[in-house]
Amino acid sequence: MNNIKKFKRSLLIIFIILFLFVTISYFMLLSKISLLGTAEYLSASYISNEEDMKNKYGRSEYEQTINDIRIDVEKITTELYFITYSWMSGNLTYNAITLNVEDINKNPLNLTNYQSSYVIDNLGNKYFPMYYKESPYPPDDPLGYKNVLFIKFWPFDSKADTVTLYLQYGNEEYIFCNMPIR
């Protein structure tokens, strides 16, 4: 008698699990069917924007080309870095601008074309770099015609919203105006 109750209970559990499995499978199938038309819609919207993407994808809105050298702003970084030790404390916060430098004719670039730079914020404050480094891109297998220029500045004023970068590179002056920093 006791074995029959255990068998019925086991059978009931198996049927409940099977029912849950079938129910979940059914709802998954319904959700996949409702997504069938989505792929065609996405494909159609992609094709209509394909020309725009060829021109704009992966390009910065802060970009200049002078004498076949294209320089564009990749990113502006604000690094908040405070150190505190038992014997020392300090604020090592900085702002940095990372630029991509590329010869559009794919001629080799050297790493000595950087001459100087400074930044003026929208409040009129002027900042000079404390560090810069130009390195080949990509670092593991350089292309030769593309470099990354990293320029580190003392922290910008906390009330400033935009900065303008003045860059002397390869005897030319590049000016990137009103770049947002917040």
Q: Is the pLDDT of residue 95 over 70?
A: yes
Q: Give residue 45's pLDDT.
A: 47
Residue type, 166: Y
Other beta carbons within 10 Å of 148: 17
- The pLDDT, as a whole number, for residue 29 is 72
Both tokens of 10, joined, read 């086991």
Indicate the angle between helix axes 2-34 and 36-48, nearest 10 degrees.
30
Question: Which tens digit of pLDDT belongs to each residue from 25-82?
Answer: 887 776 665 555 544 444 444 455 555 555 666 677 889 899 999 999 998 888 887 7
Please give the pLDDT value at position 175.
94
Distance of CA 28 to the CA centre of its chain: 35
Q: What is the mean pLDDT of residues 97-114?
A: 91
Which pLDDT does position 93 carry in this prediction? 81
At which residue do the structure tokens 């480094």 appear? 133
Mean pLDDT of the chain: 82
Task: Tell me which residue of 110, 115, 121 sits closest to 146, measured CA to CA.
Answer: 110
Over pLDDT 70: what percentage of the chain?
79
Bond preceding residue 139 cis, omega within 30 of 0: no
Tell me the one-letter amino acid at 50: E
Q: Are 109 and 161 in contact (CB under 8 A)?
A: no
State CA 163 to chain mean position distance: 19
Two structure tokens written together for 88: 């020392």
CATH class as words, domain 60-180: mainly beta
For the segment 151-177, what is each residue's pLDDT rounded down to a tens digit? 999 888 889 999 999 999 988 999 999
H/E element holding 148? strand 146-153
Where residue 121 falls among pLDDT bands split at 50, 70, 90?
very high
